[in-house]
């Protein structure tokens, strides 16, 4: 872990989803950097501290809102010039708060201005506080107060809860955009094509908080977005390997797109995943799902 030697205006966090509150932090960091003649920078972690300790305790998988590449893209869009992704493991977790300040913030990153969230804790056993930061450093430390949207606290936890409940409209308000997943189209089992619904398959290396069948918008296949219906989850009728998969059936589209990088935005959840007794039953349900997704998208276009 290390910077490029240039003094920085820094913000720290996991930034999962890069939602409205995260964007406010990024914007303030870029603003401060411009005022002070510094480079705007982000320090983030992979895996997140929460995920690291969950694995160690054996308490289950922490769903992800975004991949590291998704976050990097959002950082670039916000004007962040330097991103440090620190591997969070036993060594970093064992650093005392004072060691984190002197070793990471001051020596390695050359921090001259710092913005942290109002609940920021750091160092071994989360002993470090904002008061300690201010007392132990010579640079300015700002606290980012809670960001509310329509009276609700904006947080990654709130976004995950909305997605797990299928409330895509709530998640979109908290994120500031529709929830999306980006990835490269891979070869699948060709079952969708055999059923009459060829799909673009995106294998997932993480567990998303959303599962089910959704109406979606797809970017990355030309100058205009495409629309369709997607299955996100474990495919209980046919899945034997237990890994999540995103399958997208694009309306009025049948071109080879293997290897293309696409962004799938989830607009409306139609239903949860269901295990069907046979493939004809699944095929009939896919047809109904496609009809419902088309109807929703047509209504959406009429309203807009």
Q: CA-to-CA distance for 276 and 65, rounded, in angstroms?
A: 28
Number of domains present in the structure of the chain: 2
Q: Domain range spanning residue 245?
A: 178-303
Range in 141-150, 168-177, 187-196, 201-210 with the lowest mean pLDDT: 187-196
Q: Looking at the structure, do residues 149 and 239 belong to the same domain, yes or no?
A: no
Residue 231 lies in a domain: yes
pTM of the model: 0.90
As given in the structure block, the two tokens for residue 18 are 């890069």
Range in 3-12, 192-201, 202-211 with the lowest mean pLDDT: 192-201
As given in the structure block, the two tokens for residue 13 are 């966090």
Q: CA-to-CA distance for 202 and 262, rounded, in angstroms?
A: 9
Q: Looking at the structure, do residues 136 and 205 belong to the same domain, yes or no?
A: no
Residue 169 lies in a domain: no
Q: Looking at the structure, do residues 119 and 208 belong to the same domain, yes or no?
A: no
As given in the structure block, the two tokens for residue 81 are 């010039």
Tens digit of pLDDT for each residue in 52-88?
888 887 776 778 999 888 999 999 999 999 999 999 9
Q: Looking at the structure, do residues 221 and 121 belong to the same domain, yes or no?
A: no
């Amino acid at each position: 872990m290390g910077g490029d030697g240039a003094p920085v205006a820094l913000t720290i966090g996991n930034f999962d989803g890069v939602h409205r509150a995260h964007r406010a932090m990024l914007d303030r960091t870029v603003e401060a950097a411009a005022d002070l003649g510094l480079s705007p920078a982000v320090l983030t972690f992979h895996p997140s501290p929460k995920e690291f300790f969950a694995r160690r305790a054996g308490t289950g998988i922490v769903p992800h809102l975004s991949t590291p590449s998704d976050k990097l893209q959002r950082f670039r869009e916000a004007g962040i010039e330097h991103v440090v992704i620190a591997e969070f493991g036993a060594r970093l977790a064992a650093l005392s708060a004072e060691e984190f300040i002197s070793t990471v913030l001051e020596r390695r990153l050359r921090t001259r201005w710092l913005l942290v969230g109002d609940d920021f804790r750091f160092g071994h056993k989360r002993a470090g506080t904002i008061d300690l930061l201010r007392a132990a450093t010579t640079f300015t430390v700002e606290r980012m107060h809670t960001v509310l949207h329509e009276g609700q606290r904006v947080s990654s936890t709130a976004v995950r809860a909305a997605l797990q409940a299928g409330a895509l409209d709530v998640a979109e308000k908290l994120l500031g955009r529709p929830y999306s997943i980006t990835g490269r189209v891979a070869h699948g089992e060709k079952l969708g094509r055999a059923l009459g619904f060829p799909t673009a398959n995106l294998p997932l290396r993480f567990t998303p908080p959303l599962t089910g069948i959704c109406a979606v918008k797809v970017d990355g296949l030309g100058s205009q977005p495409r629309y369709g219906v997607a299955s996100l989850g474990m495919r209980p009728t046919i899945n034997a390997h237990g890994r999540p998969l995103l399958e997208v059936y694009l309306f009025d589209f049948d071109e080879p797109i293997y290897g293309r990088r696409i962004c799938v935005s989830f607009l409306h959840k139609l239903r949860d995943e269901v295990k069907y007794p046979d493939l004809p039953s699944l095929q009939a349900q896919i047809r109904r799902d496609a009809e419902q997704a088309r109807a929703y998208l047509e209504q959406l276009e009429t309203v807009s």
